[in-house]
Amino acid sequence: MSEVIIRSFPPIAEPSARILILGSMPGVASLEAKQYYAHPHNAFWRIMGELVGAGFDKAYEERTRILQAHGIAVWDVLQSCVRPGSLDSNIRDEVPNDFASFFAAHPRLTHIGLNGGKAAASFRKHATRHCPDGVIVTTLPSTSPAHAARSFAEKCALWSAALPIGRLCD
C-alpha cells in the first residue's frame, strides 16, 4: 500500500496582514471540506468567534473575510507531508511552505501565533531563518480536539493575551 502525500491550502491573507496564525497541516475533516479548521470540535473558529466575531455561526467565506478585515492571516507551516489520519505526531516527510516569499509579500506582520507544539517545532525547523526581525513569535495552545489538556476558556484567554487583536485598528 502506497502512502499518500497530503497538501495544505493557500494562505488566507491580505498584504496588510499583521498577525499570522500557523497550524501544522490540515486534518482529515479540513482536507475533505477544503477549509481551515473544519473539524467541528476544533476550537479555532470558536476562539475567533469570541475574539473577532468569526465563529461557526457564519459561513466559511464570511469567517475568512472577517479575519482578513482584522489583519489576521491563516496558513500552515507545511506545504505537504505524509500523515495517516489527523494526528500531528504521525507527520513525516515534511515540505515547508515558502516563507521567504510570504514574509516579503506581507511586510506589516508583527505577530505569528503557532497553533500547537507541532506547528512550533516545524516552524523552528523550516521557517525561523526567514522570519523578519521584530516579529513576535508565540506558541499557542493547540485548538485541536486531540489537545484536551486545557479548557476552552483557558485556550481562549491565552490566545487573546498573545495576539494583539484588539489593537489592530490603532
Q: What confidence tens digit (pLDDT) does each residue in 104-122 have?
A: 999 999 999 999 999 999 9
What span, in angstroms and rounded, lies between the C-alpha atoms of 67 and 123?
22
What span, in angstroms and rounded, lies between the C-alpha atoms of 30 and 122?
19
The domain total for the chain is: 1
For residue 120, tell me if it sits in a domain.
yes
Q: Using 50, 70 and 90 to split pLDDT, how confident is the model at 1? A: very low
For residue 46, tell me if it sits in a domain.
yes
Q: Is 42 a catalytic residue?
A: yes
Its pTM stands at 0.93
Q: Is the pLDDT of residue 169 over 70?
A: no
For residue 99, tell me if it sits in a domain.
yes
Helix (H) or strand (E) holding 92: strand 92-96
What are the pLDDT digits (tens) for 12-56? Answer: 999 999 999 999 999 999 999 999 999 999 999 999 999 999 999
Q: Provide the 10 A C-beta neighbour count for residue 20.
A: 25
For residue 170, tell me if it sits in a domain.
no
Catalytic residue of the set 42, 90, 97, 115? 42
For residue 169, tell me if it sits in a domain.
no
Residue 43 CA: distances (Å) to CA of 88, 140, 145, 155: 16, 12, 7, 8
3-state secondary structure 32-92: HHCCCCCCCCCCHHHHHHHHHCCCCCCCHHHHHHHHHHCCEEEEECEEEEECCCCCHHHCE
| CATH number assigned to the domain comprising residue 115 | 3.40.470.10
Average pLDDT score, the chain? 91
For residue 131, tell me if it sits in a domain.
yes
For residue 168, tell me if it sits in a domain.
no
- The residue segments making up the domain with residue 107 are 13-163
